[in-house]
């Protein structure tokens, strides 16, 4: 539910619904908060055009039973996308089971996937149906599929082709009705070329590939993802903490090597450090390491200022100055990245050009020679 008025923010009702208050319908913050409230369950959150296109395609794929292969770096949300496909499919009432192929040794993985009969190996005191049969009528996600041993790949291929499994210790195949989704953080064509992954299995899984880019390549998702995480991890609070414009600037200036998983850590940390406040500010944003900017021509790097993890133990009197310094550095880094182009910089930071001009004017008034720094950065790139 949304409501226009003098106040803004997000409130949680006793039934678990959300009320998003906003001042202006043209305010981007209202749009982000509505999107976040709508995605506060287990569903995906996105506002980047490329991400929205991926989820739209995933929804169309969900109505079919064809195998899906999801590619993307670690921490980009491949399991969330898999759950989205499952929830939109006719199999949504069935089980969704996720198996990490890298988390178990080969012998255990085979037994856990295909099942086993009692006495088929030492310790098999009772029969087990295995994950594939447990997902009957539903969806099975095979995460980190590139880590599956070659010896098991052939058995998986047959299970997919024939829709049947043979448990360990058994001789009779058992029919199964399961949708397979595979996810990989490696380049599978390269794995095939180097003999580490079966070519026939690759083509069987790769009927329709979906690729999730790194978070640094879809920065428009950062704000809505961050706000969604703030909602999810503030259960029990009537008023949900919102993320300030200044904090969003800092988040968008980071390069996110840990992708969505890192962002979630940052937001959980911010909720703790905000200490019950209804607004997350830059001083609550703590990264595991500094934000990495693009290298300059002379080999030097400009690094965004990041508050160290022992910040909470320091005096509260520094909070205002830290907030201003962090926001200033984020703007300067973005200006350098885009060689002083105000339009591209504002778009990158998720603010209007008018807001950017206001911030730059404030920086000049505080003694920062913005124009000199931009000219020097542009000259270094030539």
Residue 74: which of 262, 207, 227, 253 has the closest Cα? 262
Residue 44, SS3? coil
**Which of 78-92, 101-115, 154-168, 317-331 bottoms out in mean pLDDT, i.e. has the lowest?**
317-331
Segment 344-368 shows an average pLDDT of: 76
Interval 241-266 mean pLDDT: 91
Picking from 57, 64, 52, 118, the residue whose alpha carbon sits closest to that of residue 91 is 64
Residue whose pair of structure tokens reads 């055009």 in the numeric block: 49
Is the pLDDT confidence value at 375 over 50? yes
Q: How many CA atoms lie within 13 A of 38 on its CB side?
A: 13
**More reliable by pLDDT, 241 or 382:** 241
pLDDT for the residue numbered 11: 56
Beta bridge partners of 242: 279
pLDDT at 4 over 70: no
Separation of alpha carbons 76 and 219, rounded Å: 12
Of 24, 17, 22, 15, give the one whose Cα is nearest residue 1: 17
Contact yes or no for 99/143 (Cβ under 8 A): yes
The C-alpha atoms of residue 47 and residue 31 are separated, in whole angstroms, by 10
pTM: 0.71
Is pLDDT of 232 > 60?
yes
pLDDT band at residue 274 under the 50/70/90 scheme:
confident
Q: Which two tokens stand for residue 86?
A: 């499952």
Helix 370-381 to helix 353-365 angle (10° resolution) is: 110
Strand ranges of the sheet holding 96-100, from the earlier edge strand across to the other edge? 96-100, 139-143, 179-184, 68-71, 208-211
112-126, 274-288, 294-308, 349-363: range with lowest mean pLDDT: 294-308
Between the two ends of the chain, the Cα-to-Cα distance in Å is 51
- Full set of structural domains in the chain with CATH: 49-211 (3.40.50.300), 244-381 (no CATH)
**How does the average pLDDT of the chain come out, rounded?**
80
252-268 burial, b at 16+ Cβ within 10 Å, e below that, comes to bbbbbbbbbebbbbbbe
pLDDT in tens, 134-149: 999 999 999 999 999 9
Look at residue 91 in the predicted model and tell me its pLDDT: 96
Report the pLDDT value the prediction gives residue 380, as an integer from 0 to 100.
57
Q: Is the pLDDT of residue 197 over 50?
A: yes
Using 50, 70 and 90 to split pLDDT, how confident is the model at 157? very high
104-131 confidence digits (pLDDT tens): 888 889 999 999 998 888 888 898 999 9
């Amino acid at each position: 539910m949304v409501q226009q008025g003098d106040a803004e923010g997000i409130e949680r009702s006793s039934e678990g619904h959300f009320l998003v208050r906003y001042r202006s319908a043209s305010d981007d913050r209202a749009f982000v908060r509505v999107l976040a409230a709508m995605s506060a369950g287990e569903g995906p959150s996105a506002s980047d055009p490329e991400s929205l296109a991926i989820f739209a395609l995933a929804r169309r794929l969900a109505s079919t039973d064809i195998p899906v292969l999801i590619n993307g770096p670690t921490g980009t949300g491949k399991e969330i996308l898999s759950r989205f496909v499952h929830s939109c499919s006719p199999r949504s009432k069935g089980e969704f089971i996720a198996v990490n192929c890298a988390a178990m040794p080969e012998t255990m993985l085979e037994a856990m996937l295909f099942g086993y009969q009692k006495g088929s190996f030492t310790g098999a005191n009772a029969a087990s149906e295995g994950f594939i049969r447990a997902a009957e009528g539903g969806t099975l996600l095979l995460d980190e599929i590139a880590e599956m041993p070659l010896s098991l790949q052939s058995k998986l291929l047959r299970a997919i082709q024939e829709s049947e499994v043979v448990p360990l210790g058994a001789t009779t195949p058992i029919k199964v009705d399961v949708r397979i989704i595979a996810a990989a953080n490696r380049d599978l064509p390269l794995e095939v070329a180097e003999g580490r992954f079966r070519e026939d299995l690759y083509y069987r899984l790769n009927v329709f590939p979906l690729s999730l880019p790194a978070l640094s390549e879809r920065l428009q998702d950062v704000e809505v993802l961050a706000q969604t995480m703030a909602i999810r991890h503030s259960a029990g609070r009537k008023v949900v903490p919102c993320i300030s414009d200044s904090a969003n600037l800092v988040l968008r200036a980071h390069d996110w090597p840990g992708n969505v998983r890192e962002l979630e850590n940052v937001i959980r940390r911010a909720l703790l450090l905000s200490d019950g406040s209804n607004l997350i500010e830059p001083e609550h944003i703590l990264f595991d390491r500094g934000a990495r900017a693009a290298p300059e021509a002379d080999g030097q790097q400009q690094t965004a200022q990041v508050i160290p993890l022992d910040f909470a133990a320091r005096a509260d009197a520094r909070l205002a100055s830290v907030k201003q310094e962090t926001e200033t550095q984020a703007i300067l880094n973005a200006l350098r990245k885009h060689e002083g182009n105000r339009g591209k910089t504002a778009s990158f930071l998720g603010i209007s050009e008018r807001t950017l001009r206001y911030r730059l004017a404030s920086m000049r008034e505080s003694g920062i020679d913005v124009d000199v720094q931009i000219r020097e950065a542009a000259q270094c790139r030539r």
